[in-house]
Amino acid sequence: MSEPTDTGDALVRKWQQITVISPYSRELGLRLHAVQPDWCVIRAPYDPRTVGNPETGVVHGGVITALLDSCYGLAIFVRMARLRPMATLDLRIDYLKPATPGRDILGGAFCYKLGHELAFVRGAAYHDSPDDPIATSSAIFMFTEGPVLSLDEAVHALGGSKP
């Protein structure tokens, strides 16, 4: 008999723990919004502390960069179904319009090419639909030395449930 697999809320809770491994992601309040094999979405809540221009109330572009960088890592982990140490090798962002003041920002991403040493991702930051982006982006990640963990092993290492 095979062991049951996580679905729905349990799986989302596990991936949420991975989403906020970084203290910077926690400070920004990043929250997992949706996780699917081909599209992961993280939400950055509007926070007056992250406004780049107090006169307009527009969120600083660095928040969008951090949001997409985090979402890209998640998309790679979900595609591999495991966690492997990696570093952002290249990240390009095209800012198309300012985020609307007072609104949360969603970052959506997918990993479109996964190699032995590199992973390639692309995505967008948006409010309502990735078809109306605030910014579009692509990145390359390089895998580094270190332990490769299953999702359950990583959650356990973070103090969550046993694998």
Does residue 3 fall inside a structural domain? no
Residue 135 has pLDDT above 70, yes or no: yes
Distance, CA of 148 to CA of 3 (rounded, Å): 21
Residues near 55 by beta carbon (within 8 Å), at least 6 away in sequence: none
Question: How many CB atoms lie under 10 A from the CB of residue 55?
Answer: 6
Does residue 135 fall inside a structural domain? yes
Does residue 1 fall inside a structural domain? no
For residue 161, the model assigns a pLDDT of 52
Does residue 94 fall inside a structural domain? yes
Spatial contact of 68 and 55, defined as CB atoms under 8 Å apart: no
How many folded domains does the chain comprise? Answer: 1
Does residue 114 fall inside a structural domain? yes
Average pLDDT, the chain: 89
How does pLDDT run across 109-120, given as a tens digit for each residue?
A: 999 999 999 999
Residue 96 has pLDDT above 70, yes or no: yes
Does residue 143 fall inside a structural domain? yes
pLDDT band at 136 (very low <50, low <70, confident <90, very high): very high
Give the range of the structural domain holding residue 71, as residue numbers without chain letter.
Answer: 8-157
pLDDT band at 160 (very low <50, low <70, confident <90, very high): low
What is the CATH classification number for the domain harbouring 48? Answer: 3.10.129.10
Strand partners, 31: 43
Report pTM. 0.87
How does pLDDT run across 6-50, given as a tens digit for each residue?
A: 446 777 777 877 777 788 888 999 999 999 889 999 999 999 999
Does residue 90 fall inside a structural domain? yes
For residue 163, the model assigns a pLDDT of 44
Does residue 26 fall inside a structural domain? yes
- Among 59, 79, 61, smallest CA distance to 69 is for 61
Q: Locate the DSSP E strands across the chain.
A: 31-36, 39-44, 51-53, 58-59, 82-83, 86-95, 105-114, 118-126, 133-143, 149-150
Spatial contact of 146 and 134, defined as CB atoms under 8 Å apart: no
Distance, CA of 75 to CA of 41 (rounded, Å): 9
